[in-house]
Amino acid sequence: MRGITKRFGPVVANDHVDFEAAWGEVHALVGENGAGKSTLMSILAGLYRPDSGTIEIDGTPVRFRSPRDAIEHGIGMVYQHFMLVEPFTVAENVVLGERRSTVDLGLPRVERELAELSERYGLGVDPKAHIWQLSVGEQQRVEILRLLYLGARILVFDEPTAVLTPQEATSLIRTLRGLAAQGFSVIFISHKLDEVMEVADCISILRRGQIVATTAPNETDRRTLARLMVGRELAALVEHPAVEPRDEREPGETVLALRGVGAIGEKGLPALRDVDLAVRAGETLGIAGVAGNGQSELAEVVTGLRRVTNGTVTIAGRDMTNRPAAEVARAGVAHIPEDRLATGLIGGMDLSANAILREYGRPPLSSGPFLAGQQVNTFTDRLISDHDVKAPGRWAKLRTLSGGNQQKLLLGRELAGSPRLIVAVHPTRGVDIGATEAIHEELRRQRASGAATLLISEDLDELLALSDRIAVLFDGRVMGVLPARGADPEQIGLLMAGVAADAASQTETRSAADG
């Protein structure tokens, strides 16, 4: 890619970018949210057309009018949010990408070819399975298989591990290294510097629409990459977070108490089983666990989005069991949801509308049935300024913001009223290292001011950095609760795998004795 420039109105997303990727290598592309990574790769994949610049494949200039053109030239992109039809089978989803002159889908042939591709590249997917039956990691393999079936040799992955469990992320990294070893060119967009250092042969850093450096893992480190990404030092975030200094003040009274709580999941099966937990004022309780073990349901139960089948939920001394979400919010509960666009924000509305979603019916944002326009504008501008939300203005549509800036707006809105309890679910998922630092710092400030925080995350480093105690969920049960300071990641991993606390301790003792 030579001299690629792309503008969206007054915003320059890519500014004369030169980018090269070789056959047989994994080339990582890193940068802050809004740096232009996804735009650049969307141009390569035919989704956008550049305002200027050229694309060459093996030295031959090419022009794409659509993603189909890019696929026909061997370029395919796996997006963070998959583009699959859930009621269809794997083979049927793959057929959707083919041009056909007949109505015969030829599914038996497609299934055979997909089975061969799956075995050749170690992707392990049943072509006859329906998408809704597959885990998130398996669905991602379907996206990869689809591109391989269509003949792609240059594979672009946009934040591919953002929606995966640690185990699935490890498996994907092995797959990408295997594809590169077989001659594919793999482009890997990620905010997770550990993964970048592990998977990449070459690393390019984008900042404000420009490539500021290209290096290799053996020539750099996480701290240097982070500094290049944001243009400043991020000392607290980049080094090992478990040793972060923290305020050791004694927590206050209990703000959240769950006693014997049970709940049913989306599939009609128990998702929470007799859960007992408590979080005190000025304390952060981290919830660890492999995805799908009750974390989402726990957050929904506390925030009033899912009914409790047994047990009680008490917030600030009030029984809030099965109370409506609006009443829970009025009780001083802030909610940073797992999926910001599905639950917390509305992409088609402007920043002002999204900023007031929580408090629009109360003074000073409203007067009777009418919004107070000047107060709304002032409130939104303050939110944007205080939380460093990078946006053209309050009138901008939320969907035009990067993921990190959307998350910072959501965080600012939820924390504006000095909440008693914060329920934060994967608060830094899919956001860059600069936004992660800002979000972590805000959560620390809230803790210092006396808020109780229930922090649900699949990032163990994040839990160790922010939590006072860590509770581990497995199959909807609390396997154990332990202090975060000095916690052994191996012991937490055993609890996440369903090994009871006493058995985990015995395993640790045996390991120490063997050592």
As a whole-number percent, the residues of the chain with pLDDT over 70 amount to 90
Q: What's the DSSP call for residue 340?
A: I
Number of CB atoms found within 10 A of residue 247's CB: 9
Q: What is the pLDDT of residue 301?
A: 97
What strand order describes the sheet that includes 254-264? 270-280, 254-264, 310-315, 318-319
Angle between helices 489-496 and 501-514 (to 10 degrees): 140
339 within some domain: no
Q: What percent of the chain has pLDDT over 90?
A: 53
> What distance, in Å, lies between the first and last C-alpha atoms of the chain?
52
* Residue 149 forms part of a structural domain: yes
- Tell whether 125 and 261 lie within a shared domain: no
Are both 228 and 279 inside the same structural domain?
no
Residue 332's SS3 state is: coil
Instruction: Average the pLDDT over 348-363 and give the result.
Output: 89
Q: What is the pLDDT of residues 128-145, one digit of tens each?
A: 999 888 877 788 889 999
Based on the domain organization, do 276 and 311 belong to the same domain?
Answer: yes
426 within domain boundaries: yes
255: which 2 tokens? 């703000």
Report whether pLDDT(244) > 80: no
Q: What per-residue confidence (pLDDT) applies to 300?
A: 95
Structure confidence at residue 509 (pLDDT): 34
pLDDT at 205: 93
d(CA 359, CA 474): 36
Q: What share of the chain is helix, strand, coil (3-state, %, to 5)?
A: 35, 25, 40
| 12 within some domain | yes
Q: Please check whether residue 338 lies inside any domain of the structure.
A: no
Residues 232 and 328 in one domain: no
The DSSP line for 195-238 is HHHHH-SEEEEEETTEEEEEE-GGG--HHHHHHHHHSS--HHHH
Vertex 492, ends 461 and 502: CA angle to 5°?
160
Q: Per DSSP, what are the bridge partners of residue 14?
A: 6
Q: Which domain holds residue 83?
A: 2-241
Residues 448 and 501 in one domain: yes
Side chain identity at residue 111, one-letter code = E
- 358 vs 246, residue with greater confidence: 358
Torsion angle, alpha carbons of 34, 37, 42, 43, to 10 = 110
The two three-digit tokens of residue 241, written as one number: 């977070």
Q: What is the pLDDT of residue 435?
A: 78
pLDDT at position 163 over 70 = no
Residue 220 falls inside a structural domain:
yes
* The pLDDT value given to residue 359: 84
The whole-number average pLDDT for the span 251-264 is 95
Regarding whether 230 and 260 lie in a shared domain, the answer is no
Cβ proximity of 14 and 1 under 8 Å = no
Do residues 352 and 488 share a domain?
Answer: no
- Pick the last residue of a domain from 360, 386, 416: 416
User: Is residue 261 domain-shared with residue 285, that is, in the same domain?
Assistant: yes
Contact indicator for 428, 26 with CB cutoff of 8 Å: no
- The answer on 367 and 275 residing in a single domain is no
Q: How many residues does the chain have?
A: 515
Contact call for residues 490 and 321 (beta carbons, < 8 A): no
Report the DSSP beta bridge partners of residue 483: 469
282 lies in some domain: yes
Per-residue pLDDT tens for 458-510?
788 889 889 999 999 998 999 999 999 888 877 887 888 787 655 444 444 33
Indicate whether 8 and 44 sit together in one domain. yes
Residues 83 and 224 in one domain: yes
CB-based burial, 248-286: b 16+ in 10 Å, e otherwise: eeebeebbbbbeebbbebeeeebbbbebebbbbbbbbbb
Three-state DSSP state, 421: strand
For residues 358 and 493, membership in a common domain is answered with no
Give the pLDDT of residue 494: 81
Say what the pLDDT of residue 354 is. 93
Determine which helix (DSSP H) or strand (DSSP E) holds 166, and give its type and residue range: helix 166-181
Single out the residue in 361, 383, 416 at which a domain terminates: 416
**Last residue within a domain, chosen from 357, 392, 416:** 416
* pLDDT, mean of residues 53-77: 93
pLDDT in tens, 364-382: 888 888 888 899 999 999 9
Q: What is the CATH number of the domain that holds 319?
A: 3.40.50.300
- Asked whether 342 and 335 are in contact (CB, 8 A), the reply is no
| Residue 235 confidence (pLDDT) above 50 | no
Give the tens place of pLDDT for each residue, 374-419.
Answer: 999 999 999 999 888 888 889 999 988 877 889 899 999 999 878 9
In this structure, is residue 337 part of a structural domain? no
Total number of domains in the chain: 3
